[in-house]
Structure 1
Amino acid sequence: MRAGMIGPFSRRRMRLLRTTGLLSLLIGIAVLIGLTVWSGTGLVRDAVGSIGIGIVLVVLVRAGTASLAAVGWWVLFPPKERPRLTTCLSLRFVREGANALLPLGQVGGDLLGARLLTFVGVPGALATASVIVDVLALAVTQALFAMTGLAVLVWLGADSSIAWIAAGGLALALPALVGFWIAQRRGGHQAFGWFLARFRGNWARVVGEKIDRLFVDLRALHASRSRMGASLVLHYLDWLTGIGEVLVAFWFMGHPVSLAEALVIESLMHAIRGAAFAIPGALGAQEGGLIVLCAVFGIPPDQAMALSLVKRVADLATGLPGLFIWQWMEGRRWRARRSAAAAGEPASPGPASHTPAT
């Protein structure tokens, strides 16, 4: 019964997600091309070219932010169940690459990270719970980062209309953030229990058991204030480190900006990317947001577009290795299962048999 009811639904849902993701991707690409033409294709090309070796520095900054984010994820685990730091580092790049480069929206990579954690022996419920809590920590610190940028924008005395728009966006995002936190606590568990109680059959019992295990791990992760606090600090430092991308890019373009201006541009750009989470890589949304934000400080559209394109290069440079790691892990798991089947051995209860809780 479980396979008959859940399987087709999951397949339909995955097809819908892929179709929606591809449509969003195509729209984003069209917007990106349109903004590039509007900004002046030749001017944008010259601005990108002027950065030169600075692109390598931008990529290094991006690698540093991803590494900090990986440590922020790693510290959430209880010490006795914590995977190797190198595992979280590699899977953080997988998450970054899938979110930025694949038509999965900006959350598909996180689900993929939970799945791959089970390949190294982390139980499915804990793997899923760790990613859920990590995404919450990222969202909370991103909101704090955006608030910091908004406060600096007001302090700089910039266009008040931009400040009001940013403040309105944050006001709309905060209830969703609170709701996400509540869903991870007892309220979410009760809601799932109420829903599953409406069904009968073995599949409902199995799903209910998985949900119970997931919420046990969620409560355990939330219960450690020291680990949660360390994760929040590391993730906030991760966002702050990203300011270096703006500083480096504009310095090489011959239009250096102050630390305060770079903070405003980087923080509010990420707020815009967060609002466009359904669009793979926030294509088009990032470019439009940067043009508006840079205009506040007198930076022309071609240089704003150049900054965005350099950030896209950093997406590729850090994301492609992550996608390679994903395929390597999937291939290794497939070969191990094939060898076991050829030898007539039963499926191992080890790492390869775990699946994330859903």
Structure 2
Amino acid sequence: MSNAIKSGFLIFGCLLLGWAISSVDLASVVQLLKKMGWGFAVIVFIYAGVTWLDTLSWKNNFHPEETRLFSNWQLWRIRQVGEAYNTITPFATLGGEPMKAQLLKDHHGLSLKSALASQIVSKTTFLAGLILFFIPGIALILLSSKISAEFKLVSLTGMVGFSTCIFLFFIVQVSGTMGKFCVWLSHKLSQRNLIHFLAKLGHLNELVSGFYKKYPARVIKASGLAFLGWILGLGELYTILYFLGFQVSFYELWVIEALGQLVKVGSFFIPLRLGAQEGGLILILTALGYPANLGLAVSLVARIKELAWVGLGLALGGKLTITHRPTPAGDD
């Protein structure tokens, strides 16, 4: 069943990609890409800054004493390895998280539970930063005279719906609802393996809930750093558009990036976001009056950057594996 679902999502993504390609002039897209030149190096440099901010954000989701186990650089390397696996695994944004936890345990002696708890909090603060980024985006979409009423409605519904889901996810974590559910369910079951798994899940929920209550300042700081990462992402998008020969206004830049990120997070179930990223950017840019060719060109530039970063992450992963030196870790 799992393979069938994955195959279904992949086919859906291929159909989206087919539509995206059929809606543009490929010759014009190629001509646009040729304009990038050394601009590729610039966007990779900017993206490196984004990943550094995201790493600093993640570091604030550990207990203060845990952060002494690794440097910023070491955590950045582990994050790049995990993100590379997130990109190449079927269910993007999920596959690399166990890898990050295992590397933190093997190389820095952090328990798997603590590493996973930090990632749950980090994922939440990362998305909280995106919600903060959405707020000006919503205002700018409403004020835009270029965007149709129908497109505004769809965009705002998506942003508000996504923000609501993240808020509810946060409430579930803070309140310990998952832990309570695990205790209740374990009393209804007789299988020891399932009861043991629920006990671990409940303990993980306690770690997450306890962190929010004990370190609210670190959570706020992490969300702020994540927000700065999204802001720096505007610079990356501006650079891509500049080298492609298009200069957009500040409000258009924010709208394109906000809606583009909404498409990305909303299509996590599609392997590599295949077709969703391309089709989304085509729809967004055409809604603002730009040619469909530009949407596909921007997406392809982003894909090339991602491939370069995946290569870096896999190379770092190989080095970490080769230089593996087990260290004592807590009982998992």
TM-score of the superposed pair, with normalisation by structure 1: 0.83
How many angstroms apart in 2 are the aligned matches of 1:234 and 1:349? 30
Structure 1, gaps ≥5 residues long: 1-14, 337-347
| Structure 1 position 350 matched with structure 2 position 328 | yes
Q: Is the 8 A contact 2:81 2:316 kept in 1?
A: yes
| Structure 1 position 178 matched with structure 2 position 156 | no
How many angstroms apart in 1 are the aligned matches of 2:202 and 2:316? 31
| Structure 1 position 164 matched with structure 2 position 153 | yes
Q: Is the 8 A contact 1:158 1:296 kept in 2?
A: yes
Describe how 1:51-62 pairs up with structure 2 within 5 A: 51-62=36-47
Aligned counterpart for 2:101 among listed residues 114, 124, 146: 114
| Gap change, CA 1:174 and 1:263, over 3 Å in 2 | closer
How many angstroms apart in 2 are the aligned matches of 1:20 and 1:53? 40
Q: What's the counterpart of residue 289 of structure 2?
A: 298
Q: Is the 8 A contact 2:189 2:195 kept in 1?
A: no
Could you tell me which amino acid in structure 1 is paired with residue 187 of structure 2? Answer: A
Indicate the larger mover: 146-155 or 20-29.
20-29
| Structure 1 position 240 matched with structure 2 position 225 | no
1:243 is displaced (CA, Å) by 0.8
TM-score of the superposed pair, with normalisation by structure 2: 0.89
How many angstroms apart in 2 are the aligned matches of 1:55 and 1:212? 45
Could you tell me which amino acid in structure 2 is paired with residue 90 of structure 1? Answer: R
Structure 2, gaps ≥5 residues long: none
Aligned counterpart for 1:273 among listed residues 264, 280, 292: 264
| Gap change, CA 1:26 and 1:205, over 3 Å in 2 | closer
| Gap change, CA 1:310 and 1:354, over 3 Å in 2 | farther
Aligned counterpart for 2:248 among listed residues 257, 267, 273: 257
1:201 is displaced (CA, Å) by 5.4
Runs of 4+ deviating beyond 4 Å: 330-333
Aligned counterpart for 1:104 among listed residues 75, 91, 116: 91
Q: What's the counterpart of residue 12 of structure 1?
A: none
Paired-residue identity, %: 25
1:322 is displaced (CA, Å) by 1.3
Could you tell me which amino acid in structure 2 is paired with residue 187 of structure 1? Answer: T
- CA deviation map 1:296-352 (0-9, x unaligned): 33211111111010011111111221123334434555xx6xxxxxxxxxxx8724x
| Structure 1 position 198 matched with structure 2 position 188 | yes
How many angstroms apart in 1 are the aligned matches of 2:25 and 2:212? 49
Aligned counterpart for 1:92 among listed residues 75, 79, 85: 79
How many angstroms apart in 1 are the aligned matches of 2:277 and 2:263? 7
Q: Is the 8 A contact 2:81 2:100 kept in 1?
A: yes
How many angstroms apart in 2 are the aligned matches of 1:251 and 1:174? 31
| Gap change, CA 1:146 and 1:280, over 3 Å in 2 | farther
